[in-house]
């Protein structure tokens, strides 16, 4: 019996050792082969490309300075209007009557002032009577000026060549003074807004920019020169990026509206070397909430984990990483959408 016990113990030890080797083989089988890419830092770049947002020079809320019943509306959304065009008009009759009443009162006060002065010259009237008549005449004059101004304010005209972005009223409505009736956008000069990383703006010098241009609507044939306008000095609290604005005059015959795609290209010299961390575009994955992340490789554990990133401009298949990664790290470059948190991977080695 003792012999049989020793044999069973030996077999159990051998079996456990076999299971251990099988586990290592199993782990080796589970490791997914992936292609990795280095997180690289490039400096001395001369050309930078940024996705930009097309914006008007300014946006104003158009409103009446007086209240009344709406009579006419000429506010076609998405259409350009010229400076001075009649865009909306209130019922004119109440304002015309107010002008007529003010004219009669002015005429009456003028006659009264003339009569009181004539009597005063004969020594019959008093000086106070003349003063009162003069005050009444001046008040009547102001009342007529106000009535004429209100009549003018009852007609709403375009203050500049503008794009009607949004109409906020319909015909036959009663409009109160100061109520916005439309959003007008001034596109006499087009602005292009784009974000630049903190490390770029810290080295940003306008004198180092040789030229800047923009392409709109995805067409490389329509390239226009643009000029620097301004840049923010406080970063966005979330992305830690700074906004830069360039602009150009509206090209003749161009139909440009907010929301169209634009790409700003800035070319500069080699002074003040600027450093940018980047990865291949395929490495970046979009989350369901539109946030962006990469799969960061851990060489010690040979696993990957999700790393949230903030991205910048793209060029030649690479995308700038504004935050989340450092130079020298490695990320999954191919098949990133198939990765899972903590997945065991094995770097692909070209034979």
What is 61-92 written as a DSSP string?
Answer: EEE-SS-EEEEEE---TT-EE-TT-EEEEE-S
Rounded Cα–Cα distance for residues 153 and 67 (Å):
9
* pTM of the shown model: 0.53
Q: What is the mean pLDDT of residues 236-261?
A: 82
Handedness of CA 325, 329, 333, 337 (dihedral sign): negative
Coil, strand, or helix at residue 161? coil
Cβ-contact 282, 265 below 8 angstroms: no
State residue 246's pLDDT score: 93
Rounded Cα–Cα distance for residues 340 and 25 (Å):
21
**pLDDT exceeds 60 at position 21:** no
Q: Which of 278, 270, 285, 276 is nearest to 340 (CA)?
A: 285
**pLDDT exceeds 70 at position 43:** no
Rounded Cα–Cα distance for residues 272 and 115 (Å):
84
State residue 260's pLDDT score: 80
**pLDDT exceeds 60 at position 20:** no
The matching CATH number, chosen from 2.40.30.170, 3.65.10.10, 1.10.340.30, 3.40.605.10, for 47-57+187-274 is: 2.40.30.170
Cβ-contact 159, 60 below 8 angstroms: yes
CATH class of 62-185: mainly beta
Rounded Cα–Cα distance for residues 294 and 280 (Å):
10
**pLDDT exceeds 90 at position 147:** yes
- 281 contacts: CB under 8 Å, gap ≥ 6: 314, 317, 318, 319
State residue 137's pLDDT score: 93
**Could you report the per-residue pLDDT of 273-303, keeping only the tens digit for each?**
456 788 988 899 988 888 899 999 999 999 9
Q: What is the mean pLDDT of residues 262-270?
A: 78
- 215 contacts: CB under 8 Å, gap ≥ 6: 222, 223, 262, 263, 265
Rounded Cα–Cα distance for residues 256 and 273 (Å):
35
Coil, strand, or helix at residue 8? helix
Q: Which of 211, 207, 212, 218 is nearest to 194 (CA)?
A: 212
Q: What is the DSSP letter of 271?
A: S
Where in the chain are the domains? 47-57+187-274, 62-185
Q: Which of 140, 99, 133 is nearest to 116 (CA)?
A: 133
Would you say the CATH fold of 62-185 matches that of 47-57+187-274? no
Rounded Cα–Cα distance for residues 294 and 339 (Å):
10
State residue 315's pLDDT score: 75
- 272 contacts: CB under 8 Å, gap ≥ 6: 203, 205, 208
State residue 220's pLDDT score: 52
How many helices, marked H, and strands, marked E, lie in the chain? Answer: 4, 24
State residue 3's pLDDT score: 42
Torsions phi, psi for 5 (to 5 deg): -65, -45
State residue 292's pLDDT score: 92
State residue 17's pLDDT score: 42
Cβ-contact 17, 331 below 8 angstroms: no
118 φψ region: left (φ > 0), alpha (ψ -120 to 50), beta (else): alpha
Q: Which of 89, 248, 77 is nearest to 157 (CA)?
A: 89
């Amino acid at each position: 019996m003792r012999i049989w016990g020793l044999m069973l113990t030996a077999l159990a030890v051998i079996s456990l050792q076999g299971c251990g080797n099988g586990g290592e083989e199993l782990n080796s089988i589970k490791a997914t082969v992936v292609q990795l890419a280095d997180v690289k830092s490039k400096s001395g770049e001369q050309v930078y490309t940024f996705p930009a947002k097309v914006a008007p020079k300014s946006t104003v809320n158009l409103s009446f300075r007086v209240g009344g019943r709406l009579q006419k509306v000429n506010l076609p959304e998405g259409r350009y209007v010229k400076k001075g065009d009649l865009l909306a008009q209130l019922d004119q009759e109440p304002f015309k009557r107010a002008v007529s009443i003010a004219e009669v009162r002015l005429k009456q006060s003028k006659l009264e002032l003339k009569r009181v002065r004539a009597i005063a010259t004969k020594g019959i009237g008093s000086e106070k009577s003349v003063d009162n008549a003069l005050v009444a005449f001046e008040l009547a004059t102001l009342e007529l000026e106000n009535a004429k101004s209100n009549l003018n304010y009852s007609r709403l005209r375009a203050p500049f060549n503008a794009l009607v972005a949004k109409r906020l009223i319909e015909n036959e409505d009663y409009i109160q003074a100061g109520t916005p009736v439309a959003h007008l956008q001034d596109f006499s000069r087009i602005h292009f807004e784009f974000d630049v990383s903190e490390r770029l703006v810290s080295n940003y010098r306008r004198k180092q920019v040789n030229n800047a241009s923009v392409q709109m609507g995805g067409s490389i044939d329509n390239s226009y020169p643009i000029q620097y306008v301004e840049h923010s000095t406080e970063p966005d609290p979330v992305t830690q990026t700074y906004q830069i604005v360039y602009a150009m005059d509206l090209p003749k015959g161009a139909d440009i509206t907010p929301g169209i795609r634009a790409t700003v290209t800035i070319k500069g010299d080699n002074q003040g070397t600027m450093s940018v961390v980047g990865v291949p575009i395929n490495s970046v994955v979009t989350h369901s909430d539109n946030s962006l992340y990469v799969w960061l490789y851990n060489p010690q554990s040979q696993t990957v984990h999700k790393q949230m990133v903030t991205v910048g401009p793209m060029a030649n298949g690479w995308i700038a990483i504004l935050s989340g990664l450092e130079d020298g790290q490695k990320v999954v470059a191919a098949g990133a959408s198939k990765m899972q948190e903590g997945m065991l991977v094995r770097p692909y080695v070209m034979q």
